[in-house]
Amino acid sequence: MYGTEFGVFLALSTAFSWALAGVIHTTASRMAGIRAVMLIRQPLASVALGLCCLLAGDLLLPSMRLFWLAAASGLFGIIIGDACFYAGALTMGLRPTLVCQSLSSCFTALIGSFYLGEYIGMQGWLGMFVATCGVILVVVSEQKDTHNPPVDNRRRNKGVALALLSAILLALGMVFSKQALQEGMDALSLAFYRNAISTVGIWIIAFMIGAIRPAIEGIRANPGVLKLFPLGCLFGPAGGIWLSCLALDYLP
């Protein structure tokens, strides 16, 4: 039996938290670049969540299977998914990117129905249809919004593609997280391992493509960006992901 009311509260808190994190990290990306944001925020979140797990006595995993589920969740949801999200936000703006990424809930439900055997009722299908129509309407109307910077069609299409890819990858990450929780992994432990594994992956990739030095130079050129990282981590990869794991533990 799900704790529905508490689960809904956690899910809405996650949405609010991720919206704030999106604003903060997009601002930081404009100042120092996406690479700098990805390289700095993940270690901060990992340390914070690791300390919480250590205090709670929940740092060790009971099986390698749970480790690989957390790794898959981090790979799709954080390493690739977040990179696509911020690339989309820098390409066509934060608002339309967030709107497109809101379809991740629809993708999560669809993937969950096939992969986890969760049931989608008539209300669910109707909700996904309405959400999809709403996203299309908002993205089209955004093109005529005088408050947005002018973006040509090619650039906008690229941004939409990146945002939708981010939504799909976030959905995959959520499904793997749900499976880990169903198999006995604690929400706090899952949040820590998602971030810790993502940190290692991001730094390895950055080292291989030579992105570490440009990221450091971007931070040196804009030292004020460092003030944004703790707040962004609180609402994003640390607190936001923990809230999402808790919500998944209480809701389908």
Average the pLDDT over 139-153 and give the result: 67
Whether the predicted pLDDT of 41 surpasses 60: yes
Q: How far apart are CA 61 and CA 51, in angstroms?
A: 15
Contact 235, 45 (CB under 8 A): no
Size of the chain, expressed as the number of residues it contains: 252
Task: Pull the structure tokens for residue 219.
Answer: 């931070």
* Ranges of each domain in the chain: 4-250
CA angle 96, 191, 29 (to 5 degrees): 35
CA distances from 120 to 113, 124, 252 (A): 7, 5, 10
pTM for the full predicted model: 0.84
CA angle 81, 175, 112 (to 5 degrees): 125
The separation between the first and the last C-alpha atoms of the chain, rounded to the nearest angstrom, is 11
pLDDT, tens digit (0-9, with 9 covering 90-100), for 182-199? 999 999 999 999 999 999
Q: How far apart are CA 245 and CA 178, in angstroms?
A: 8
CA distances from 141 to 1, 67, 108, 115, 167 (A): 41, 43, 26, 35, 20
Return the number of other C-beta atoms located less than 10 Å from residue 115's C-beta: 13
**Residue 104 identity (one-letter amino acid):** S
Backbone angles phi, psi at 107, to 5 degrees: -65, -40
Dihedral (Cα; 200, 15, 24, 98), 10-degree rounding: 100
Report the SS3 class of residue 237: helix
Task: Pull the structure tokens for residue 139.
Answer: 């993205």
Residue 147's pLDDT band, with cuts at 50, 70 and 90, is low
Q: How far apart are CA 205 and CA 121, in angstroms?
A: 41
Residue 144's pLDDT band, with cuts at 50, 70 and 90, is low
Average the pLDDT over 210-226 and give the result: 91
Q: How far apart are CA 21 and CA 244, in angstroms?
A: 13
Average the pLDDT over 239-244 and give the result: 91
DSSP symbol at 75: I
Q: How far apart are CA 155 and CA 129, in angstroms?
A: 26
Q: Where do we find the tokens 């607190």?
A: 239
Mean pLDDT of the chain: 88
Percent of the chain whose predicted confidence (pLDDT) is above 90: 53
**Predicted local confidence at residue 92, as pLDDT:** 84
DSSP symbol at 138: H
Q: What is the largest CA-CA distance in the chain?
A: 54
**Predicted local confidence at residue 139, as pLDDT:** 78
Q: Where do we find the tokens 């945002």?
A: 163
